[in-house]
Amino acid sequence: MAEDRFPGWHGTTILAVRRGGEVVVAGDGQVSLGQTVIKGTARKVRRLSPGGQEVVAGFAGSTADAFTLLERLEKKLESAPGQLARACVELAKDWRMDKYLRNLEAMLIVTDGETLLVITGAGDVLEPEHDVTAIGSGGNFALAAARGLMATELPAEEIARTAMAIAADICVYTNGNLTVERISK
């Protein structure tokens, strides 16, 4: 898919941690083309407020595709206020069935402070186990670090920041320039 049209594009690590009544979503700022970092300050975690409802979303993949999906998600949330899971399932259905949306290449992590979900173009709406989830090039590194840190008493933000630092030390497509958003219910 994207590798055919844009070979070598890499970057993004998005991590979400739920603990103590809050969810923290952290994203790095790196975008790479092959062996070159073309941007180190990208902002891939955003706060949305459709219909006054606070939602935090992080994305991996094509930025234009992700923004298209975030706009669609906002419309779904306006149609179903306070029902994040329902809005995400409706978005995933559209994404899977619509000829235009089907070609979008991105993944999303979304939360309203209570519900935490990963949405994919394959039609998946996944609620993570262990109150931690991650996407992107360095997602597995950040996920493993955060899962290990969940055994400690650290607060959600400290787990997210430490896990992202570990991922940045291991993954060449992840940097330490973080955007961090907290949300609680």
Q: How far apart are CA 157 and CA 180, in angstroms?
A: 8
Taking every pair of C-alpha atoms in the chain, what is the biggest distance, in angstroms?
46
Which residues, at least 6 apart from 21, have a Cβ–Cβ distance to it below 8 Å? 113, 184, 185
Range 6-31 burial, b when 16+ CB lie within 10 A, else e: eeebbbbbbbbbbbeebbbbbbbbbb
Q: What is the C-alpha end-to-end distance of the chain, expressed in Å?
A: 38
**The residue type at 114:** E
Q: Which of the residues are catalytic?
A: 12
